[in-house]
Amino acid sequence: MANSKVTKIMTCLGLILYLSGCAESGSGSSTRVTNNSIDDEARVTLHSNISTVEYDGSITLSWSTSKMQDCVASGDWSGNKNSTGSEVISSLILDSTFELTCTEIVGEAEAESLDSVAFKGRKIKDTVNVRVKGPKAPTISLSSSPTNVSINGSTTINWSSKHSSSCTASGDWSGNMATSGSQTINAITTDSTFNLTCSGAGGNSSDSVSVTVSSPTTPTVNLSASPSSLPYNGSTTLSWNSANVNDCVASGDWSGSKATSGSQTVSALTSTSSFNLTCSGAGGSANKSVNVTVAAPLPTLSFSASPGTVSQNGSTTLNWSAIDATGCTASGDWSGTKDLSGAVTISSLTNDSQFTLTCNGAGGTVNETVNVMVVLNNNGTALLSWTPPTENTDGSQLTDLAGYKIRYGTSPGSYSDTITINNPGLTSYLVENLASSDWYFVMTSFNSSGIESGYSTEVSKTVN
């Protein structure tokens, strides 16, 4: 009996070395333990879907047990676990060991048949080792669209990265950036380079993209006027267009900001005009001018005689005013150069008279004529007519004729009365209030110095 007892103890000791617990040899209620199970019914099985994982990768642990309870995770995971289940383990960056230890469930009858309580609540553990590959170096994809822009143009930078935790911009942009994204860059005036450096557990990686700015195109502008030749106070239409410009400004005989293309009517032009248009853009500025010729205005003339009817030897006053004229000339029953406006009294009118005034200007010629009627008195009158002298007695030209004197009387060669005429333009005169008799007449002329000529041929008239 003693030997049998020893055998049992030795058997128990052998099992204790393996599982820290044993059952009686030969007992029908239990079997010897192999691996992590007792009687093949008490077991713990822990499994990983992969044994080698990428850096920062994930695995799925799954486990099952038989006749086990109170499972606890240890190693690189933790916590109480159900007797069966699965769990995803993420963000693995180091080689990891996952352990699951569960407590065997011992039935009451079995526990009573055992001589030792050492087999009650025995623990069984299974272990899984997972190898984690080294971290990968970051990778960057960086692009711009478009890669060629006009001056002051825009581009959009797009980027994405892998195996990175942060990114930093440099070059012609700056600052901390997300590990992926996009950003629009505006008002680019020079060729630009955009750098991006991303960092992660596997190190750093950089990429860059260049954007080229096209040389600005030189502005052009066209300007025309229709018509380009106008009458005085006429109108013209200005038309223009431009290319590669941002704004236009008018100067000269128009002004203000203008659209980059358009038309405008300019009215009431009274003088030749110049219209300038300057348009500016990134490539500089361009200027265009157009001239519009405006004809000078036709002169206007106001001319009148007051009164228009006079008695013999009566007077009338001529009034005139010229506009847009440069000079005026009298003709008909008066003569000489006249001012652009004025008044002249014409005396000693003896017969109907016609006075013409012609005025010239850049825009042409205008003339007006006024008629003055003379009411004649046929009783006791004598109408004298003459041709004005043109030479002095020495044969030189007479340039300062000032007037005439009429001498008359009732005896030949004897002249009792004198009439002075201070109008060198007159060529006739009516002598009135003559009594019934034979009358004899002579004339002289005098210059501005008062020097008088000799007598003319004597003429006579009998008044009844």
Residue 208 to residue 191: CA distance in whole angstroms? 13
Task: Check residue 434 and give its pLDDT.
Answer: 87
Asked if pLDDT for residue 17 goes beyond 50, the answer is no
Asked if pLDDT for residue 430 goes beyond 80, the answer is yes
Task: Check residue 376 and give its pLDDT.
Answer: 67
Task: Check residue 384 and give its pLDDT.
Answer: 93
Query: Are the CB atoms for 271 and 292 separated by under 8 Å?
Result: no
Omega before 227 within 30 of 0, i.e. cis: yes
Asked if pLDDT for residue 3 goes beyond 80, the answer is no
Residues 6+ apart with CB under 8 A from 439: 382, 408, 409, 410, 431, 460, 461, 462, 463
pLDDT higher for 21 or 423? 423
- Which domains, ranges and CATH numbers included, belong to the chain? 2-86+94-129 (no CATH), 139-213 (2.60.40.10), 220-294 (2.60.40.2470), 300-375 (2.60.40.10), 382-463 (2.60.40.10)
Task: Check residue 16 and give its pLDDT.
Answer: 31
* 3-class SS string, the chain: CHHHHHHHHHHHHHHHHHHCCCCCCCCCCCCCEECCEECCCEEEEEEECCCEECCCEEEEEEEEEECEEEEEEEECCCEEECCCEEEEEEEECCCEEEEEEEEECCCHHHHHHCCCHHHCCCEEEEEEEEEECCCCCCEEEEEEECCEECCCEEEEEEEEEECCCEEEEEECCCEEECCEEEEEEEEECCCEEEEEEEEECCEEEEEEEEEEECCCCCCEEEEEEECCEECCCEEEEEEEEEECCCEEEEEECCCEEECCCEEEEEEEECCCEEEEEEEEECCEEEEEEEEEEECCCCCEEEEEEECCEEECCEEEEEEEEEECCCEEEEEECCCEEECCEEEEEEEEECCCEEEEEEEEECCEEEEEEEEEEEECCCCCCEEEECCCCCECCCCCECCCEEEEEEEEECECCECCEEEEECCCCCCEEEECCCCCEEEEEEEEEEECCCCECCCCCCEEEEEC
116, with CB counted inside 10 A (0-12, 13-18, 19+), is middle
Q: What is the mean pLDDT of residues 55-81?
A: 94
Phi-psi region of 257 (alpha: psi -120 to 50; beta: other; left: phi over 0): beta
Q: What is the mean pLDDT of residues 53-75?
A: 94
Asked if pLDDT for residue 36 goes beyond 90, the answer is no
Residues belonging to the chain: 464
Query: Are the CB atoms for 109 and 133 separated by under 8 Å?
Result: no
| Whole-number average pLDDT of the chain | 86
Span 294-307, pLDDT tens digits = 998 999 999 999 99
pLDDT higher for 292 or 432? 292
Asked if pLDDT for residue 377 goes beyond 50, the answer is yes
Whether the model pTM is above 0.75: no
Q: What is the mean pLDDT of residues 374-390?
A: 84
Range of lowest pLDDT (167-171, 374-378, 390-394, 443-447): 374-378
Asked if pLDDT for residue 169 goes beyond 90, the answer is yes
Task: Check residue 106 and give its pLDDT.
Answer: 81
Asked if pLDDT for residue 392 goes beyond 80, the answer is yes
Query: Are the CB atoms for 319 and 303 separated by under 8 Å?
Result: yes
Task: Check residue 350 and give its pLDDT.
Answer: 79
Q: What token pair was written down for 94?
A: 């180091």
Confidence band of 173 (pLDDT split at 50, 70, 90): very high
- Between the CA atoms of 384, 388, 394 and 400, what dihedral angle is there, to the nearest 10 degrees? 120
Omega before 307 within 30 of 0, i.e. cis: yes
Task: Check residue 176 and give its pLDDT.
Answer: 96
Q: What token pair was written down for 383?
A: 């109408």
Confidence band of 219 (pLDDT split at 50, 70, 90): very high
